Structure 1
Amino acid sequence: MRDLTQGIRARGGIGESTLRPDGTLKVSGEFAYASDLWHEDMLWGFTLRSPHAHARILSVDVTEALRTAGVHAVMTHDDLPAETRYGLEIKDTPVLADGVVRHHGEPVALVAADHPETARRAAAKIKVEYAQLPVVTDEKTATAPGAPLLHPARDDAHARHSPHPNIVHRQPVVRGDVAAARELADVVVRGEYEMGMQDQAFLGPESGLAVPAEDGGVDLYISTQWLHADRRQVAPVIGLPEDKVRMTLSGVGGAFGGREDLSMQAHACLLALRTGKPVKIVYNRFESFFGHVHRHPAKLVYEHGATRDGTLLYVRCRIVLDGGAYASSSPAVVGNAASLAVGPYVVDNVDVEALALYTNNPPCGAMRGFGAVQACFAYEAQMDRVAAELGMDPVEFRQRNAMAQGAVMPTGQVVDSPAPVAELLRRVKAMPLPPERQWETAGGAPDLRALPGGLSNTTHGEGVVRGIGYAVGIKNVGFSEGFDDYSTARVRLEVVGGEPVATVHTAMAEVGQGGVTVHAQIARTELGVARVTINPADTRVGSAGSTSASRQTYVTGGAVKRACEAVREEVLELGRARFGPYHPAWATAELLLEDGKVVTDGGEVLADLVDVLEDAYVERELEWRHRPTEPFDLRTGQGRGHVQYSFAAHRAVVEVDTELGLVKVVELACAQDVGKALNPLSVTGQIQGGSTQGLGLAVMEEIVVDPATAKVRNPSFTDYLIPTILDTPAIPVDILELADEHAPYGLRGVGEAPTLSSTPAVVAAIRQATGLAVRRVPVRPEHLTGT
Structure 2
Amino acid sequence: MTNDHRLRTGGRTRGGVGESAPRPDGTLKVTGEFAYASDLWHEDMLWGHTLRSPHAHARIRALDTTEALATPGVHAVMTYADLPAATHYGLEIEDTPVLADGVVRCHGEPVALVAADHPETARRAAARIRVAYEELPLVTDEATATAPGAPVLHPGRTDAHAAHVPHPNVVHRQPVVRGDVTAARARADVVVTGDYEVGMQDQAFLGPESGLAVPAADGGVDLYVATQWLHADLRQIAPVLGLPEDKIRMTLSGVGGAFGGREDLSMQAHACLLALRTGRPVKMVYNRFESFFGHVHRHPARLHYEHGATRDGDLLFVTARIVLDGGAYASSSPAVVGNAASLAVGPYEVDNVDVEALALYTNNPPCGAMRGFGAVQACFAYEAQMDKLADALGTDPVELRRRNAMSQGSVMPTGQVVDAPAPVAELLRRVKALPMPPERQWETAGGACDLRALPGGLSNTTHGEDVVRGVGYAVGIKNVGFSEGFDDYSTARVRLTAAGGEPVVTVHTAMAEVGQGGITVHTQIARTELGVERVVLHPADTRVGSAGSTSASRQTYVTGGAVKAACEAVREKALARGRARFGAAHPAWATAGLRLEDGKVVTDGGEVLALLADLLEDDEPVEAEVEWRHRPTEPFDLRTGQGFGHVQYSFAAHRAVVEVDTALGLVKVVELACAQDVGKALNPLAVTGQIQGGTAQGLGLAVMEEIVVDPATARVRNPSFTDYLIPTVLDTPAIPVDVLELADEHAPYGLRGAGEAPTLSSTPAIVAAIRRASGLALHRVPVRPEHLTGT
* TM-score exceeds 0.5: yes
Partner residue, 1:169 = 172
Task: After TM superposition, list the pairs within 5 Å mapping 1:106-255 onto structure 2.
Answer: 106-255=109-258
Structure 1 stretches lacking a partner, 5+ long? none
The answer as to whether partners of 1:495 and 1:615 remain within 8 angstroms in 2 is: no
What root-mean-square deviation, in Å, do the aligned CA atoms of Structure 1 and Structure 2 show?
1.8
**Aligned pair partner of 2:438 in 411, 432, 435:** 435
Partner residue, 1:459 = 462
Whole-angstrom CA distance in 2 between matches of 1:612 and 1:303: 69
**Aligned pair in 2 of structure 1 residues 484, 8: CA closer, same or farther (>3 Å)?**
farther
Partner residue, 1:70 = 73
Whole-angstrom CA distance in 2 between matches of 1:193 and 1:600: 57
Whole-angstrom CA distance in 1 between matches of 2:250 and 2:745: 35
Whole-angstrom CA distance in 1 between matches of 2:641 and 2:494: 40
Given residue 160 of structure 2, which amino acid in structure 1 is its aligned partner? Answer: A
**Aligned pair partner of 1:403 in 386, 403, 406:** 406
| More displaced stretch, 5-14 vs 100-109 | 5-14
Whole-angstrom CA distance in 1 between matches of 2:595 and 2:254: 36
Q: For residues 87-125 of structure 1, give each alpha carbon's deviation from its aligned partner in whole angstroms, at most 9, with x where no partner exists.
A: 000000000000000000000000000000000000000
SS of 2:16's partner is coil
Partner residue, 1:264 = 267
The answer as to whether partners of 1:476 and 1:645 remain within 8 angstroms in 2 is: yes
Q: For residues 141-186 of structure 1, give each alpha carbon's deviation from its aligned partner in whole angstroms, at most 9, with x where no partner exists.
A: 0000000000011110100111000000000000000000000000
Segments ≥4 residues shifted beyond 4 Å: 4-10, 583-590, 602-608
Partner residue, 2:309 = 306
Q: For residues 476-524 of structure 1, give each alpha carbon's deviation from its aligned partner in whole angstroms, at most 9, with x where no partner exists.
A: 0000000000000000000012210000000000000000000000000
The answer as to whether partners of 2:300 and 2:325 remain within 8 angstroms in 1 is: yes
Whole-angstrom CA distance in 2 between matches of 1:591 and 1:270: 56
SS of 1:46's partner is strand
**Aligned pair in 2 of structure 1 residues 775, 725: CA closer, same or farther (>3 Å)?**
same
1:608 shift after superposition: 4.3
Partner residue, 2:667 = 663
SS of 1:14's partner is coil
The answer as to whether partners of 2:12 and 2:607 remain within 8 angstroms in 1 is: no
**Aligned pair in 2 of structure 1 residues 413, 108: CA closer, same or farther (>3 Å)?**
same
**Aligned pair in 2 of structure 1 residues 602, 331: CA closer, same or farther (>3 Å)?**
closer
1:468 shift after superposition: 0.2
SS of 2:371's partner is coil
Partner residue, 1:448 = 451
Partner residue, 1:557 = 560
**Aligned pair in 2 of structure 1 residues 627, 344: CA closer, same or farther (>3 Å)?**
same
Partner residue, 2:494 = 491
Q: For residues 620-655 of structure 1, give each alpha carbon's deviation from its aligned partner in whole angstroms, at most 9, with x where no partner exists.
A: 011100000000000000000000000000000000
Whole-angstrom CA distance in 1 between matches of 2:135 and 2:578: 74
Given residue 258 of structure 2, which amino acid in structure 1 is its aligned partner? Answer: A
Whole-angstrom CA distance in 2 between matches of 1:234 and 1:263: 11
Partner residue, 1:691 = 695
The answer as to whether partners of 2:498 and 2:614 remain within 8 angstroms in 1 is: no
Whole-angstrom CA distance in 2 between matches of 1:544 and 1:709: 40
Structure 1 position 714 matched with structure 2 position 718: yes
The answer as to whether partners of 1:5 and 1:13 remain within 8 angstroms in 2 is: no
The answer as to whether partners of 1:585 and 1:600 remain within 8 angstroms in 2 is: no
SS of 1:149's partner is coil
State the percentage of identical aligned residues.
Answer: 86
Given residue 364 of structure 1, which amino acid in structure 2 is its aligned partner? Answer: C
SS of 1:157's partner is coil
Partner residue, 1:548 = 551
**Aligned pair in 2 of structure 1 residues 681, 352: CA closer, same or farther (>3 Å)?**
same
**Aligned pair partner of 2:416 in 406, 410, 413:** 413
Structure 1 position 378 matched with structure 2 position 381: yes
Task: After TM superposition, list the pairs within 5 Å mapping 1:99-110 onto structure 2.
Answer: 99-110=102-113
1:577 shift after superposition: 1.5
Given residue 674 of structure 1, which amino acid in structure 2 is its aligned partner? Answer: V
SS of 1:319's partner is strand
Whole-angstrom CA distance in 2 between matches of 1:272 and 1:697: 39
Structure 1 position 477 matched with structure 2 position 472: no
1:601 shift after superposition: 1.4
**Aligned pair in 2 of structure 1 residues 238, 325: CA closer, same or farther (>3 Å)?**
same
The answer as to whether partners of 1:571 and 1:613 remain within 8 angstroms in 2 is: no
Whole-angstrom CA distance in 2 between matches of 1:5 and 1:88: 46
Whole-angstrom CA distance in 2 between matches of 1:605 and 1:273: 50
Given residue 749 of structure 2, which amino acid in structure 1 is its aligned partner? Answer: Y
Partner residue, 1:340 = 343
**Aligned pair in 2 of structure 1 residues 213, 401: CA closer, same or farther (>3 Å)?**
same
1:603 shift after superposition: 10
Partner residue, 2:645 = 641
SS of 1:769's partner is helix
Partner residue, 1:651 = 655
Task: After TM superposition, list the pairs within 5 Å mapping 1:308-323 onto structure 2.
Answer: 308-323=311-326
1:10 shift after superposition: 6.0
Partner residue, 1:746 = 750
**Aligned pair partner of 1:331 in 331, 334, 343:** 334
Structure 1 position 44 matched with structure 2 position 47: yes
Structure 1 position 366 matched with structure 2 position 369: yes
The answer as to whether partners of 1:599 and 1:606 remain within 8 angstroms in 2 is: no
Q: For residues 189-209 of structure 1, give each alpha carbon's deviation from its aligned partner in whole angstroms, at most 9, with x where no partner exists.
A: 000000000000000000000
Whole-angstrom CA distance in 2 between matches of 1:234 and 1:22: 29
SS of 2:583's partner is helix
Partner residue, 2:28 = 25
1:606 shift after superposition: 9.7
Whole-angstrom CA distance in 2 between matches of 1:738 and 1:219: 44
Given residue 546 of structure 1, which amino acid in structure 2 is its aligned partner? Answer: S
Given residue 284 of structure 1, which amino acid in structure 2 is its aligned partner? Answer: N
The answer as to whether partners of 1:574 and 1:613 remain within 8 angstroms in 2 is: no
Whole-angstrom CA distance in 2 between matches of 1:300 and 1:400: 25
Partner residue, 2:624 = 620
Whole-angstrom CA distance in 1 between matches of 2:165 and 2:499: 59
**Aligned pair in 2 of structure 1 residues 603, 164: CA closer, same or farther (>3 Å)?**
closer
Q: For residues 7-54 of structure 1, give each alpha carbon's deviation from its aligned partner in whole angstroms, at most 9, with x where no partner exists.
A: 455610000001111112111111100000000110000000000000
1:612 shift after superposition: 4.0
The answer as to whether partners of 1:173 and 1:338 remain within 8 angstroms in 2 is: yes
Given residue 249 of structure 1, which amino acid in structure 2 is its aligned partner? Answer: L
Given residue 620 of structure 1, which amino acid in structure 2 is its aligned partner? Answer: A
1:449 shift after superposition: 0.6
The answer as to whether partners of 2:531 and 2:610 remain within 8 angstroms in 1 is: no
1:589 shift after superposition: 10
SS of 1:26's partner is helix
1:610 shift after superposition: 1.7
Structure 2 stretches lacking a partner, 5+ long? 1-6
Q: For residues 572-618 of structure 1, give each alpha carbon's deviation from its aligned partner in whole angstroms, at most 9, with x where no partner exists.
A: 1112122225359959997399xxxx995179999943234342210
The answer as to whether partners of 1:5 and 1:525 remain within 8 angstroms in 2 is: no
Whole-angstrom CA distance in 2 between matches of 1:730 and 1:607: 44
Partner residue, 1:279 = 282
SS of 1:582's partner is coil
Given residue 769 of structure 2, which amino acid in structure 1 is its aligned partner? Answer: A
| More displaced stretch, 23-32 vs 547-556 | 23-32
TM-score scaled by structure 2? 0.97
1:456 shift after superposition: 0.8
Whole-angstrom CA distance in 2 between matches of 1:607 and 1:643: 33
SS of 2:85's partner is coil
